[in-house]
Amino acid sequence: MPDSSDTPESRPTVEEAPTGIGVDEWVAQAGELREGHRGLTAPARRAFDSLRPGWRLAIVAVAAATVPYLVKPGGVRIAIGILILAMLALGLNVVVGWAGLLDLGFVAFFGFGAYFYAIVASEQLPAHWPTWIALPIIVFFSGALGVLVSLASRRVAGDYLAILTLFFSLIFVELVRNFQRLPFVSEDLNLTGGPNGIPGVDPWDFFGFKINTFNRHYYVLLVLIVLLIIVLHNLSSSRTGRAWRAIRDDVLAAEHMTIPVNNMMLLAFATGAAIAGFTGTVFAAVTVGVFPTSFTLAFLITVYSAVILGGAGSIPGVLLGALVIGYLPELLRSPRLAGWLFYFGLLVALALLIRPWQRLVAVIGGVVAFGYAVRIVAAAVWSDATTGTAAEGFISELLDGWVLILGENAQIITNIAFVAAIAGALAVTVVKGWWQVAVLIPTIYLGVLVWENRLVFQPSLTRQLVFGALLVIMMAVRPQGLLGKRRVEIT
Amino acid sequence: MEFFLQQTLNGLTLGSVYALLAIGYSMVYGILKLLNFAHGEVYMFGAFAGYGVLTLLGGPASPVVPVWLLLILMFAGAVVVSSAIGVAMERFAYRPLRQSSRIAPLISAIGVSFFLQASALFLFTAGFRTYDTPKLIDISTGITVGPIRVWLVRVLVIVGTAVVMVVLTLWVSRSRTGKAVRAVSFDREAAEMMGVNVNHVIVVTFLIGSALAGISGVMTALVFGRIFHFMGFIAGLKAFTAAVVGGIGSIPGAMLGGLLIGMAESYTTGYISSTFQNLIVFGLLILVLLIKPTGLLGKPQLVKV
CB atoms within 10 A of CB A490: 11
β-strand pairing of A289-290 with B129-130: unpaired
Residues A143 and A81 in one domain: yes
Residues A173 and A285 in one domain: yes
Mean of the pLDDT values across residues A100-123? 90
HEC string of A292-358 equals HHHHCHHHHHHHHHHHHHHCCCCHHHHHHHHHHHHHHHHHHHCHHHHHHHHHHHHHHHHHHHCCCHH
For the cut 60, the answer to whether the pLDDT of residue A15 exceeds it is no
Residues A254 and A231 in one domain: yes
Mean of the pLDDT values across residues A461-477? 85
CA nearest neighbour of B213 among B11, B13, B39: B39
pLDDT of residue A481: 78
| Domain end (from A333, A358, A383) | A333
pLDDT of residue B54: 92
Residues A389 and A368 in one domain: yes
pLDDT of residue B5: 87
Q: How confident is the model at residue B305 (pLDDT cuts 50, 70, 90)?
A: low
Q: How confident is the model at residue A21 (pLDDT cuts 50, 70, 90)?
A: very low
Of A6 and A403, more confident: A403
CB atoms within 10 A of CB A145: 24
Q: In A, which residues are within 8 Å of B111 by CB distance?
A: 467-472, 474-475
Q: In A, which residues are within 8 Å of B91 by CB distance?
A: 426
Q: Please give, rounded to a whole number of angstroms, the shortest distance from the CA of B60 to a CA of chain A.
A: 21
pLDDT of residue A33: 61
Mean of the pLDDT values across residues A265-278? 93
pLDDT of residue A275: 95
Residues A173 and A214 in one domain: yes
pLDDT of residue A2: 41
- Cβ(B285)–Cβ(B244) below 8 Å: yes
- Cβ(A483)–Cβ(A316) below 8 Å: yes
Q: In A, which residues are within 8 Å of B115 by CB distance?
A: 464-465, 468-469, 472
| B113 part of contact set with chain A, CB < 8 Å | yes
For the cut 50, the answer to whether the pLDDT of residue A273 exceeds it is yes
Q: How confident is the model at residue B303 (pLDDT cuts 50, 70, 90)?
A: low
Of B182 and A190, more confident: B182
The answer to whether B106 contacts A470, with C-beta atoms less than 8 Å apart, is: no
Q: How confident is the model at residue B17 (pLDDT cuts 50, 70, 90)?
A: very high
Residues A417 and A269 in one domain: no
Residues A172 and A93 in one domain: yes
| B287 part of contact set with chain A, CB < 8 Å | no
Q: How confident is the model at residue A8 (pLDDT cuts 50, 70, 90)?
A: very low
Q: How confident is the model at residue A422 (pLDDT cuts 50, 70, 90)?
A: very high
Of A138 and A354, more confident: A138
- Tell me the C-alpha distance between A448 and B141, whole Å: 51
Q: Report pLDDT digits (tens) over B84-140.
A: 999 999 999 999 888 777 778 888 898 999 899 999 999 998 888 888 888 888 777
Mean of the pLDDT values across residues A240-254? 88
Q: In A, which residues are within 8 Å of B244 by CB distance?
A: 160, 163
Q: Report pLDDT digits (tens) over A127-157.
A: 888 888 899 999 999 999 999 888 876 666 6
Q: Note whether residue A462 is domain-resident.
A: no
Q: How many CB pairs under 8 A join A and B?
A: 133
Residues A326 and A355 in one domain: no
Q: In B, which residues are within 8 Å of A173 by CB distance?
A: none
The answer to whether A252 contacts B305, with C-beta atoms less than 8 Å apart, is: yes
Q: How confident is the model at residue A7 (pLDDT cuts 50, 70, 90)?
A: very low
Q: Note whether residue A389 is domain-resident.
A: yes
Q: Tell me the residue range of the domain where A170 lies.
A: 48-333
Q: Which of A102, A419, A455 sits opposite B106 (nearest CB)?
A: A102
Q: In A, which residues are within 8 Å of B108 by CB distance?
A: 471-472, 475-476
- Cβ(B62)–Cβ(B132) below 8 Å: no
Q: Which of A160, A175, A308 sits opposite B289 (nearest CB)?
A: A160
For the cut 50, the answer to whether the pLDDT of residue A69 exceeds it is yes
The answer to whether B114 contacts A468, with C-beta atoms less than 8 Å apart, is: yes
The answer to whether B115 contacts A469, with C-beta atoms less than 8 Å apart, is: yes
Query: Hey, which of A32-36, B1-5, B129-133, B163-167 has the most confident mean pLDDT?
Result: B163-167
The answer to whether A170 contacts B33, with C-beta atoms less than 8 Å apart, is: no
Residues A289 and A367 in one domain: no
Q: Note whether residue A269 is domain-resident.
A: yes
Q: Please give, rounded to a whole number of angstroms, the shortest distance from the CA of B293 to a CA of chain A.
A: 6
Q: Note whether residue A474 is domain-resident.
A: no
Mean of the pLDDT values across residues A59-88? 88
HEC string of chain A equals CCHHHCCCCCCCCHHHCCCCCCCCHHHHHHHHHHHCCCCCCHHHHHHHHHCCHHHHHHHHHHHHHCHHHHCCHHHHHHHHHHHHHHHHHHHHHHHHHHCCCCCCCHHHHHHHHHHHHHHHEECCCCEECCHHHHHHHHHHHHHHHHHHHHHHCCCCCCHHHHHHHHHHHHHHHHHHHHCCCCCCCCCCCCCCCHHHCEECCCCEEECCEEECCHHHHHHHHHHHHHHHHHHHHHHHHCHHHHHHHHHHHCHHHHHHCCCCHHHHHHHHHHHHHHHHHHHHHHHHHHHCEECHHHHCHHHHHHHHHHHHHHCCCCHHHHHHHHHHHHHHHHHHHCHHHHHHHHHHHHHHHHHHHCCCHHHHHHHHHHHHHHHHHHHHHHHHHCHHHHCCCCCCCHHHHHHCCCCCCCCCCHHHHHHHHHHHHHHHHHHHCCCCCHHHHHHHHHHHHHHHHHHHHCHHHCHHHHHHHHHHHHHHHHHHHCCCCCCCCCCCCCC
- Cβ(A211)–Cβ(A203) below 8 Å: yes
For the cut 80, the answer to whether the pLDDT of residue A224 exceeds it is yes
Residues A317 and A194 in one domain: yes
For the cut 80, the answer to whether the pLDDT of residue A270 exceeds it is yes
Q: Please give, rounded to a whole number of angstroms, the shortest distance from the CA of B142 to a CA of chain A.
A: 37
- Tell me the C-alpha distance between A436 and A434, whole Å: 5
CB atoms within 10 A of CB A439: 19
The answer to whether A252 contacts B105, with C-beta atoms less than 8 Å apart, is: no
For the cut 90, the answer to whether the pLDDT of residue B142 exceeds it is no
Q: To the nearest whole percent, how much of chain A has pLDDT over 90?
A: 21
For the cut 60, the answer to whether the pLDDT of residue A17 exceeds it is no
For the cut 80, the answer to whether the pLDDT of residue B8 exceeds it is yes
Q: Note whether residue A212 is domain-resident.
A: yes
The answer to whether A170 contacts B104, with C-beta atoms less than 8 Å apart, is: no
**Scanning every residue of chain B, which has its alpha carbon at the shortest distance from the alpha carbon of A491?**
B305
Q: How confident is the model at residue B42 (pLDDT cuts 50, 70, 90)?
A: very high
When the pLDDT of each residue in chain B is averaged and rounded to a whole number, the result is: 87
Q: Report pLDDT digits (tens) over A277-326.
A: 999 999 999 988 898 888 888 888 889 888 988 888 889 889 999 998 88
pLDDT of residue B304: 56
The answer to whether B100 contacts A100, with C-beta atoms less than 8 Å apart, is: no
| B143 part of contact set with chain A, CB < 8 Å | no
The distance in angstroms from the start CA to the end CA of chain B is 55
| B208 part of contact set with chain A, CB < 8 Å | no
Between positions 15 and 54 of B, the ones with CB within 8 A of A are 33, 35
Number of domains in chain A: 2
> Which CATH number does the domain B2-291 belong to among 3.30.1220, 1.10.3470, 2.60.60, 1.10.760?
1.10.3470
Residues A289 and A349 in one domain: no
Angle formed at CA B293 by CA B289 and CA B299, multiple of 5 degrees? 135
Residues A99 and A246 in one domain: yes
For the cut 90, the answer to whether the pLDDT of residue B272 exceeds it is no
When the pLDDT of each residue in chain A is averaged and rounded to a whole number, the result is: 81
Among A29-33, A105-109, A369-373, B94-98, the minimum mean pLDDT is found in A29-33
Domain-wise residue ranges, chain B: 2-291
- Cβ(B133)–Cβ(B153) below 8 Å: yes
The answer to whether B111 contacts A418, with C-beta atoms less than 8 Å apart, is: no
ipTM, 2 dp: 0.86
The answer to whether B107 contacts A471, with C-beta atoms less than 8 Å apart, is: yes
| B277 part of contact set with chain A, CB < 8 Å | no
| B301 part of contact set with chain A, CB < 8 Å | no
**Scanning every residue of chain A, which has its alpha carbon at the shortest distance from the alpha carbon of B33?**
A159
Q: In A, which residues are within 8 Å of B289 by CB distance?
A: 153, 156, 160, 163-164
Of A192 and B246, more confident: B246
Q: Which residues lie closer than 8 Å to A331 by C-beta, 6 or more apart? A: A337, A338, A341
Q: How confident is the model at residue B53 (pLDDT cuts 50, 70, 90)?
A: very high
